[in-house]
Amino acid sequence: MTPAPDPFSAAPPGPDWLFCPADRPERFAKAAAAAASVIIDLEDGVVPDRKASARGKLGHAVSSVADPARLIVRINAVDSPEHRADLLALRENGLRTVMLPKAESAEQLTSLAGFRVVALCETPRGILEAASIARAENCIALMWGSEDLAAALGAASSRRADGSMTGHAAFARNSVLYAAAAAGRLAIDAVYLDLDGLAREARDAAESGFDVKAVIHPSHCAGVRAAFTPTPEQLSAARRVVDAAAASAHGVFSLDGRHIDEPLVRQARRVLARNGATTP
> Mean pLDDT over residues 147-175, rounded?
92
Q: Is 212 helix (H, G, I), strand (E, B) or coil?
A: strand
- Check pLDDT > 70 for residue 279: no
pLDDT of residue 3: 40
pLDDT of residue 92: 95
- Check pLDDT > 50 for residue 10: no
- Check pLDDT > 90 for residue 39: yes
Distance CA 222, CA 227 (A): 9
Question: Using an 8 Å Cβ cutoff, are 183 and 131 in contact?
Answer: yes
Question: Using an 8 Å Cβ cutoff, are 98 and 122 in contact?
Answer: no
- Check pLDDT > 80 for residue 253: no
pLDDT tens for 166-212 read 999 999 999 999 999 999 999 999 999 887 889 999 999 999 999 99
Distance CA 118, CA 212 (A): 12
Distance CA 31, CA 226 (A): 18
pLDDT tens for 86-95 read 999 999 999 9
Distance CA 32, CA 34 (A): 5
pLDDT of residue 35: 96
Classify burial at 280, counting beta carbons within 10 Å of its beta carbon; exposed 0-12, middle 13-18, buried 19 or more. Answer: exposed
pLDDT of residue 5: 40
- Check pLDDT > 70 for residue 9: no
pLDDT of residue 262: 82
pLDDT of residue 134: 98
pLDDT tens for 196-252 read 889 999 999 999 999 999 999 999 999 999 999 887 777 777 788 888 888 887 788
- Check pLDDT > 50 for residue 1: no
pLDDT of residue 65: 81
Radius of gyration of the chain (CA): 20
Start-end of H helices in 93-228: 106-110, 124-128, 130-134, 147-153, 167-183, 195-208, 221-228
Highest mean pLDDT: which range of 10-14, 22-26, 236-240? 22-26
Q: What are the residue ranges spanned by the domains of the chain?
A: 16-228, 232-274
Mean pLDDT score across all residues of the chain: 89
Question: Using an 8 Å Cβ cutoff, are 141 and 118 in contact?
Answer: yes
Nearest Cα neighbor of 136 from 158, 159, 112 is 112
Classify burial at 173, counting beta carbons within 10 Å of its beta carbon; exposed 0-12, middle 13-18, buried 19 or more. Answer: buried
pTM: 0.86
CATH topology of domain 16-228: TIM Barrel (3.20.20)
Question: Using an 8 Å Cβ cutoff, are 163 and 157 in contact?
Answer: no
